[in-house]
C-alpha cells in the first residue's frame, strides 16, 4: 500500500514558515509515498501556491460540519477546498479535549469533508489511564465506529492511531503494541467497509521522528504517519518521508 505521511503543524507557522514547504520540495524529489502538510488556516492558500506542481499536498486541521452559516470563527470544508486543501485532519485529540468534540461531531465533520471532496484523516487514540485500565481496544474501537460516517471509503478516509500519551512527549508504544491496535483497527474497518476496509491507510502518530520512523513503518498494518513536532522542519520531516520509501 502506498504510504501516507502527513505533517500537522498545529498552531505553529507564520508566513516565514512557508520556506519549509519550499525546502521540502527540494528534499523529496519523486516521492514514493503521499506527502501532506497541514499548516494553520491562515497559511493554507499560500502553502498551496508554494506546493503547486510538486509532490507536496496541502491539508487543513479541522472544518465545520456545515457548508456556511452563522458560526463565528469557523471554517467550512468548501472554504478549505477553495484555499487549496485536499486533506483535512479531523477528531485530533487536541480538538476532542480542548473543543469537546464527540465522535458524533467528528462523524458529521468527516461527512462534510467528503461532501466537499476532501480526504479526512480521522484521529483516534487512548489516554494513559485508559491504557493502564486495559481498555485500549475498546476505546479506540468505539471512537472509530462513532467517527466514521456513511459513505466512507478507502479513498476518502485514512485513520490515524495516536495514543494521547505519546503526543509531544517523546514516548512511543512498542512495535507490538502498535501492531496490536492497528490490527484491531483493520478488523473494525473491514467490519464497517467490507473488503474496502483492507485498503484504508492506518497511520501511526505520536512522537514520530526520523530516528524511529523506519521501525514504526516496518510494523504490520502501519501505512504511514501523522507527525506533529517533527513536521515543522523540512529536513526532519524529509527524514521520516525517506524512511517510508
User: What positions carry a catalytic annotation?
Assistant: 92, 162
Among 144, 200, 226, 244, binds ligand PGA (CB under 6 A): 226
> Please, which residues bridge with residue 56 across strands?
35
Is residue 128 a contact residue for ligand PGA (CB under 6 A)?
A: no
Q: Toward ligand PGA, which CB reaches closer, 43 or 227?
A: 227
Contact status, residue 191 vs residue 200, Cβ threshold 8 Å: no
Is residue 119 a contact residue for ligand PGA (CB under 6 A)?
A: no
Is residue 206 a contact residue for ligand PGA (CB under 6 A)?
A: yes
Residues in 6-35 at the binding interface with ligand PGA, rule: CB under 6 A: 8
Cβ at position 52, least distance to ligand PGA in Å: 25
Is residue 227 a contact residue for ligand PGA (CB under 6 A)?
A: yes
Contact status, residue 209 vs residue 237, Cβ threshold 8 Å: no
Q: Toward ligand PGA, which CB reaches closer, 78 or 236?
A: 236
Is residue 80 a contact residue for ligand PGA (CB under 6 A)?
A: no
Is residue 167 a contact residue for ligand PGA (CB under 6 A)?
A: yes
Cβ at position 228, least distance to ligand PGA in Å: 2
- Sole window of 36-44, 69-77, 103-111, 226-234 interacting with ligand PGA (rule: CB under 6 A): 226-234
Q: Toward ligand PGA, which CB reaches closer, 31 or 161?
A: 161
Cβ at position 89, least distance to ligand PGA in Å: 8
Is residue 59 a contact residue for ligand PGA (CB under 6 A)?
A: no
Binding region for ligand PGA (CB under 6 A): 8, 162, 167-168, 205-208, 226-230
Amino acid at each position: 500500500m502506498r504510504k501516507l505521511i502527513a505533517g500537522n503543524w498545529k498552531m505553529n507557522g507564520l508566513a516565514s514558515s512557508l520556506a519549509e514547504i519550499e525546502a521540502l520540495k527540494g528534499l523529496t524529489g519523486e516521492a514514493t509515498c503521499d506527502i501532506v502538510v497541514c499548516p494553520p488556516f491562515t497559511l493554507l492558500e499560500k502553502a498551496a501556491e508554494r506546493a503547486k506542481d510538486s509532490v507536496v499536498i496541502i491539508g487543513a486541521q479541522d472544518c465545520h460540519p456545515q457548508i456556511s452559516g452563522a458560526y463565528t470563527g469557523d471554517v467550512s470544508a468548501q472554504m478549505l477546498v477553495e484555499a487549496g486543501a485536499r486533506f483535512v485532519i479531523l477528531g485530533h485529540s487536541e480538538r476532542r479535549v480542548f473543543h469537546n468534540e464527540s465522535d458524533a461531531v467528528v462523524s458529521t465533520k468527516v461527512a462534510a469533508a467528503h461532501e466537499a471532496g476532501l480526504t479526512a484523516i480521522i484521529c483516534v487514540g487512548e489516554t494513559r489511564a485508559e491504557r493502564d485500565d486495559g481498555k485500549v481496544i475498546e476505546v479506540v474501537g468505539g471512537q472509530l465506529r462513532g467517527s466514521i460516517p456513511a459513505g466512507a471509503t478507502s479513498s476518502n478516509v485514512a485513520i490515524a492511531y495516536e495514543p494521547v500519551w505519546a503526543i509531544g512527549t517523546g514516548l512511543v508504544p512498542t512495535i507490538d503494541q502498535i501492531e496490536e491496535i492497528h490490527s484491531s483497527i483493520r478488523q473494525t474497518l473491514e467490519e464497517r467497509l467490507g473488503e474496502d476496509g483492507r485498503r484504508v491507510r492506518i497511520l501511526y502518530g505520536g512522537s514520530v521522528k526520523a530516528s524511529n520512523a523506519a521501525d514504526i513503518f516496518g510494523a504490520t498494518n502501519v501505512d504511514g504517519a501523522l507527525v506533529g513536532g517533527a513536521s515543522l522542519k523540512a529536513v526532519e520531516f524529509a527524514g521520516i518521508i525517506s524512511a517510508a520509501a
